[in-house]
Amino acid sequence: SDGFIKDNRWTISQTGVSYLTTSGKLGRKGNVVLYGHNTKDVLGRLWMVQVGDIVEVTDSEGNTYKFEIFERKEVKSNTVEILESTEDSRLTIYTCSGFLDTARFVVVGKLVESI
């Protein structure tokens, strides 16, 4: 679902992954940001993604984009650098982590194939 920031508050789907509408667009240069709850049915297994893994994202038109993960890290919840635009085509996925959700677990990948 589409996610956005209004009055300094993030919207977030309760049942799926949200796409930050102010981030990049799939298939173009920029940083596509996806985020969701750290629950079993959403992004609760994100921590299992390793550097070198391929993550596939399919858009609403059925186009599939493959990203190779090159970074995984935990950051403070107020770290905004992960949201910044980039000169390459990349994907950033993150979810809550840490004690009382005070951190964010992040994986970042570069576009390697469009189908």
Per-residue pLDDT band for 5 (boundaries 50, 70, 90) equals low
Condensed to tens digits (0 to 9), the pLDDT of residues 10-34 reads 778 888 999 998 999 999 999 999 9
One-letter identity of residue 46: L
pTM for this entry: 0.90
Question: pLDDT value at position 3?
Answer: 66
Q: Which CATH class is domain 2-114?
A: mainly beta
Domain spans in the chain, listed from the N-terminal domain onward:
2-114
**Which neighbouring-strand residues pair with 19?**
2, 34
Residue 78 pLDDT: 87
pLDDT at 99: 83
For 58-112, what is each residue's pLDDT tens digit?
998 999 999 999 999 999 988 889 999 999 999 999 999 988 888 999 999 999 9
Q: Does the pLDDT at position 44 exceed 90?
A: yes
Question: Would you state the structure tokens that stand for residue 90, as one six-digit string?
Answer: 């990349």
Give the burial string for 91-106 (b: 16+ CB within 10 Å, else e).
bbbbbbbeeeeebbbb
Locate 95 and state its tokens.
Answer: 């979810």
The pLDDT of residue 104 is 94
Q: Furthest-apart CA pair in the chain: how many Å? A: 39
